[in-house]
């Protein structure tokens, strides 16, 4: 049994789709299928149930996958620990960013002033369902629903209603959300955690928002508000730097509109010294926003 076989099996098990797994692994699908078949012969059991062109991990596959993931994680931990103990001056942190990308540059600039020997491998613009526990740290808007994950809250941020400076409510400092039930809304697309949260806010206020623009990019949301094309929800901390004088942020009196940012890491995995330093730095950095 070879290490490569185990990595290939893990990828196929995650996708339960031979072609998609082959694309991720950058090999041809017949070669991947053959390697999985060889592994099954060696183990003496079928790891997948095959129905036509579809495959599904069966009870043997699920049991084997648990041990494969433990073995691969242990090997990865060994690599991390050796790299941490090595004399290499430059270290890297694998950081997954599900929220807060617009303040990330400010965070990293400040961090690198103190720790210029630590770099980052950044994973951005992925959905929560696609994220895998192969990171050192992950920033998200709720604790990750993955196995063996520990999380700590960074900050509880207010979510404001953003209106253009010439809007009828621009002279106000606060608003009840129900007051904008008939407005055009600009929002992140469906599937984003922020979108689900703000849809819930509107539901609590007794209406479904009329969304006229959807986007993946917070800067685009702000730009469209600035252009007078609608109103939008803007998190006060994690979307820092996306607003300007042409946008007015209104406190929402009712319902209460807030969310918590979390920092997560994999439990029982070796935590490098660099990751420990950055984790503490993040906790201290966000403490300035707490009230």
b (16+ CB within 10 A) / e for 135-174: bbbbbbbbebeeeebebeebbebbbbbbbbeebebeeeee
Q: Are 3-83 and 87-153+261-289 the same fold in CATH?
A: no
* pLDDT tens readout for residues 179-210: 999 999 999 988 888 999 999 999 999 999 99
Scan for tokens 């270290």, then name that residue: 91
Pick the CATH number of 3-83 from 1.10.10.10, 1.10.3190.10, 2.40.50.140, 3.90.1150.30: 1.10.10.10
pLDDT of residue 266: 87
Q: 87-153+261-289: CATH homologous superfamily?
A: Periplasmic binding protein-like II (3.40.190.10)
> What string of pLDDT tens digits covers the 291 residues of the chain?
788 888 888 888 888 888 888 888 888 888 888 888 888 888 889 899 888 778 888 998 889 888 888 888 778 777 777 766 665 665 889 999 988 888 888 899 999 999 998 999 998 866 665 566 678 899 998 888 777 889 999 999 999 999 999 999 999 999 999 999 999 999 998 888 899 999 999 999 999 999 999 998 888 999 999 999 999 999 999 886 556 678 999 999 999 999 999 999 988 777 888 899 999 999 999 998 865
As its CATH architecture, domain 157-259 has: 3-Layer(aba) Sandwich (3.40)
pLDDT of residue 252: 97
E-strand spans in the chain? 48-51, 54-57, 91-97, 118-124, 137-140, 149-164, 174-176, 184-188, 210-215, 232-235, 247-254, 258-266
Domain boundaries of the chain, sorted by first residue? 3-83, 87-153+261-289, 157-259
- Residue whose C-alpha is closest to residue 136's, from 284, 274, 18: 274
The Cα–Cα gap between 31 and 273 comes to 40
């Amino acid at each position: 049994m070879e290490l490569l076989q185990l990595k290939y099996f893990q990828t196929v098990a995650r996708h339960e789709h031979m072609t998609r797994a082959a694309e991720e692994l950058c090999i041809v699908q017949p070669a991947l299928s053959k390697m999985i078949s060889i592994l099954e012969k060696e183990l003496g059991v079928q790891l997948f149930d095959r129905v036509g062109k579809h495959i599904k991990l069966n009870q043997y596959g699920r049991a084997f996958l648990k041990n494969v993931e433990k073995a691969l994680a242990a090997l990865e931990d060994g690599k991390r620990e050796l790299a941490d103990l090595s004399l290499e001056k430059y270290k890297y942190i694998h950081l997954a960013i599900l929220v807060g990308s617009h303040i990330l540059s400010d965070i990293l600039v400040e961090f690198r002033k103190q720790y210029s020997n630590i770099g980052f491998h950044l994973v951005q613009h992925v959905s929560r369902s696609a994220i895998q526990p192969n990171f050192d740290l992950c920033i998200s808007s709720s604790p990750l629903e993955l196995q063996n994950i520990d999380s700590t809250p960074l900050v509880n941020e207010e979510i404001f209603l953003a209106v253009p400076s010439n809007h009828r409510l621009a002279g106000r400092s606060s608003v009840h959300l129900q007051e904008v039930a008939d407005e055009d809304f600009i929002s992140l697309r469906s599937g984003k955690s922020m979108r689900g949260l703000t849809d819930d806010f509107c539901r609590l206020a007794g209406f479904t928002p009329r969304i006229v623009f959807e986007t993946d990019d917070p800067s685009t949301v702000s730009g469209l508000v600035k252009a007078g094309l609608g109103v939008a929800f803007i998190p006060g901390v994690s979307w820092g730097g996306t607003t300007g004088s042409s946008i007015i942020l209104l406190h929402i009196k009712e319902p209460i509109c807030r969310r918590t940012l979390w920092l997560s890491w994999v439990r029982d995995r070796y935590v490098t010294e660099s990751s420990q330093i950055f984790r503490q730095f993040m906790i201290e950095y966000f403490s300035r926003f707490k009230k």
